[in-house]
Amino acid sequence: MLGVMPTRDARQKALDAGLDLVEVSPNADPPVCRIMDFGKYRYDEARKQKQARKHSHAQAVKEIKFHANVGEHDYHTKLKHIRTFLEKGHKVKVSLMFRGRENAHRELGFEVINRVIKDCDDIGVVEMTPRLMGRTVAAMIGVKPQKI
């Protein structure tokens, strides 16, 4: 904290110290400057950003597809995959496509989707309720927030 001084004096102090005069807040009255090694500052900022990218975890959306007349064993196998994805922290899109005459009995498809949602109720939460989009019913299940 050197106080208010003319730019020429501040620049001379920075040169004497072998550092740079960096304007921190140009909109302040008077403008605020700092004497620092700007190259080292930029290097440290780049390292911080690289570490942040390295430790960030992108949440993927996995998709599991069903059909209205899914067999019991297939249902449980796909349900196990959904539970695995949720445990790993991924969101899961559950979709059910109607083929041919299955379109006449759309309530069966909604029953399958609602059954999946009910079976994943303990570890997942519904982010998008089942809705019909053309020949497909889709719902989104997210990870249930942890209680501390």
Is pLDDT above 70 for 148? no
DSSP symbol at 89? T
- CA distance linking residue 5 with residue 103, whole number of Å: 79
Looking at residues 116-126, what average pLDDT do you find? 92
Q: Identify the three-state secondary structure at position 124.
A: strand
pLDDT tens for 23-57 read 888 888 888 999 999 999 999 999 999 988 887 77
Looking at residue 65, what is its pLDDT? 95
Cα angle value 12/15/10 (rounded, 5°): 35
**Cβ atoms within 10 Å of 33's Cβ, excluding its own:** 20
Second-level CATH architecture of 61-143: 2-Layer Sandwich (3.30)
DSSP symbol at 67? -
Residue 135 to residues 68, 94, 98, 108, 111, Cα–Cα distance (Å) = 11, 14, 6, 13, 15
* Cis previous bond, 30, omega within 30: yes
Is pLDDT above 90 for 117? yes
Which residue in the block uniquely carries the two structure tokens 């005069």?
21
pTM: 0.60
pLDDT tens for 54-83 read 877 777 899 999 998 899 999 999 999 999
CATH dotted code for 7-55: 3.10.20.80
Looking at residue 30, what is its pLDDT? 86
When the pLDDT of each residue in the chain is averaged and rounded to a whole number, the result is 90
- CA distance linking residue 95 with residue 100, whole number of Å: 17
User: Domain residue spans in the chain?
Assistant: 7-55, 61-143
